[in-house]
């Protein structure tokens, strides 16, 4: 069985010469919630941004290695990057609404993909908002500015927005940063629902969150992959000393 997403010998260097990732290899299976964790500067966000080629926006960087989705290299020359990003959604650490209403935020990716039918759009908007556990709170004010939402609502709106196109994979870069425990629990709950349909790759807020939500996880340290394994293995019986030190809170 081929992996949903396969990272092979992936290395990445920023324009200033800083090497963010070194020879990363890992496979992520369909419908699992895969967590990338580690201290800051481990390369987690960089790795996420390589998976939807958002890192392409930076000039002067260097990448080697491959990223295969369904067995096909997303860095192959004939790949349509726009199409790729429609299949690989992303939620950022800082919730960033686009100027406009809640509805227009949700409809944006659909409209950009050429979907014109109002019923289809309205349907997808509602379903995505339900999936992100936000529908009941906003259904009566979909035309209000997205900037009027609270922090937790904004983050769930951004999650819903990334779901509207029904991508195959969702990348979550610390989607609960700055959220209160109740909002965090709501987001985590929706993740358990979402992985029935999507493959989720997530950078968690903390080790605790990582161990709460992960099916499998990878521990990154200074741009290197230290260990990949199931939640059980990584958080209960880590093979590597560094993993053990990090998950038990000896550094980090």
Partner 1 sequence: MTRQQTQRLAQWLISATAVIVILPIVLVVVYVVAKGIGAINWEFLTQPPRNGMTEGGIFPALLGTIILTLGTAVAAIPLAVGAAIYLAEYAGDNRFTRAIRLAIVNLAGIPSIVYGLFGLGMFVLFFNFGTSILAGALTLGLMTLPVVISTAEEAILTVPQEFRVVSFSLGASRWQTIRHQVLPHALPGIITGIILGLGRAAGETAPILFTVAAFYLPELPKSIFDQTMALPYHLYVIATQVPGMPLSIQYGTALVLLFIVLSFTLVATVIRTVMRRRREW
Q: Does 54 bind partner 1 (CB under 8 A)?
A: yes
Q: What is the 3-state secondary structure (H, E, C) of 63-98?
A: EEEEEEECCEECCCCCCCHHHHHHHEEEECCCCCCC
Q: Does 83 bind partner 1 (CB under 8 A)?
A: yes
Q: Name the residue nearer to partner 1 (CB basis): 145 or 230.
A: 145
Q: Name the residue nearer to partner 1 (CB basis): 6 or 52.
A: 52
List Cβ neighbours of 88 (8 Å cut-off, separation of 6 or more).
Answer: 51, 52, 69, 167, 168, 169, 170, 171
Q: Does 52 bind partner 1 (CB under 8 A)?
A: yes
Q: Does 187 bind partner 1 (CB under 8 A)?
A: no
Q: Name the residue nearer to partner 1 (CB basis): 84 or 185.
A: 84
In degrees and rounded to multiples of 5, residue 201 shows phi and psi of -120, 125
In the complex, what is the shortest distance from the CB of residue 228 to partner 1, in angstroms, rounded to a whole number? 26
List Cβ neighbours of 20 (8 Å cut-off, separation of 6 or more).
Answer: 12, 13, 14, 43, 46, 223
In the complex, what is the shortest distance from the CB of residue 229 to partner 1, in angstroms, rounded to a whole number? 29
Report residue 213 CA to chain centroid gap: 13
| Tokens standing for residue 213 | 């939500």
Q: Could you say which DSSP state residue 148 is in?
A: G
Q: Does 82 bind partner 1 (CB under 8 A)?
A: yes
Site string for partner 1, 151-170 (x = CB under 8 A): ----------xx--x-----
Q: Name the residue nearer to partner 1 (CB basis): 98 or 236.
A: 98
Distance CA 199, CA 56 (A): 22
Q: Does 57 bind partner 1 (CB under 8 A)?
A: yes
Residue indicated by tokens 């491959």: 66
Q: Does 89 bind partner 1 (CB under 8 A)?
A: yes
Parallel, antiparallel, or unpaired for β 19-28 and 5-13? antiparallel
Site string for partner 1, 104-123 (x = CB under 8 A): ----xx--xx----------
Q: Name the residue nearer to partner 1 (CB basis): 90 or 247.
A: 90
Q: Does 50 bind partner 1 (CB under 8 A)?
A: no
Burial of 200 (0-12, 13-18, 19+ CB in 10 A): buried
Number of residues engaging partner 1 in binding (CB under 8 A): 25
Q: Which of 98, 193, 241, 248 binds partner 1 (CB under 8 A)?
A: 98
Q: Does 59 bind partner 1 (CB under 8 A)?
A: yes
In the complex, what is the shortest distance from the CB of residue 236 to partner 1, in angstroms, rounded to a whole number? 35
Distance CA 163, CA 171 (A): 11
Q: Does 75 bind partner 1 (CB under 8 A)?
A: no
Distance CA 55, CA 71 (A): 21
Distance CA 165, CA 85 (A): 10
Binding site for partner 1 (CB under 8 A): 52, 54, 57, 59, 82-83, 85-86, 89-90, 92, 94, 96, 98-100, 108-109, 112-113, 145, 147, 161-162, 165
């Amino acid at each position: 069985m081929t992996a949903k997403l396969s990272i092979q010998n992936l290395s990445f260097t920023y324009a200033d010469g800083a090497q963010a990732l070194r020879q990363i290899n890992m496979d992520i299976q369909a419908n699992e919630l895969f967590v990338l964790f580690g201290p800051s500067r481990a390369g987690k966000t960089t790795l996420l941004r390589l998976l939807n080629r958002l890192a392409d926006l930076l000039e002067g960087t260097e990448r080697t290695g491959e990223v295969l989705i369904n067995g096909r290299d997303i860095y192959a020359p004939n790949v349509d990057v726009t199409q790729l990003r429609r299949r690989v959604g992303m939620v950022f650490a800082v919730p960033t609404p686009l100027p406009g209403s809640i509805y227009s935020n949700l409809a944006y990716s659909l409209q950009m993909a050429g979907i014109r039918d109002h019923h289809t759009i309205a349907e997808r908007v509602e379903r995505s908002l339900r999936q992100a556990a936000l529908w009941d709170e906003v259904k009566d004010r979909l035309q209000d500015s997205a900037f009027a939402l609270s922090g937790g609502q904004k983050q769930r709106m951004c999650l819903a927005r990334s779901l509207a196109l029904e991508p195959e994979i969702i990348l979550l870069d610390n989607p609960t940063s700055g959220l209160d425990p109740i909002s965090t629990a709501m987001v985590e709950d929706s993740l358990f629902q979402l992985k029935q349909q999507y493959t989720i790759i997530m950078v968690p807020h903390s080790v605790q969150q990582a161990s709460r939500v992960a099916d499998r996880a990878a521990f990154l340290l200074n741009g290197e992959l230290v260990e990949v394994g199931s939640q059980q293995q990584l958080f209960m019986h880590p093979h590597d000393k560094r993993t053990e030190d990090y998950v038990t809170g000896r550094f980090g």
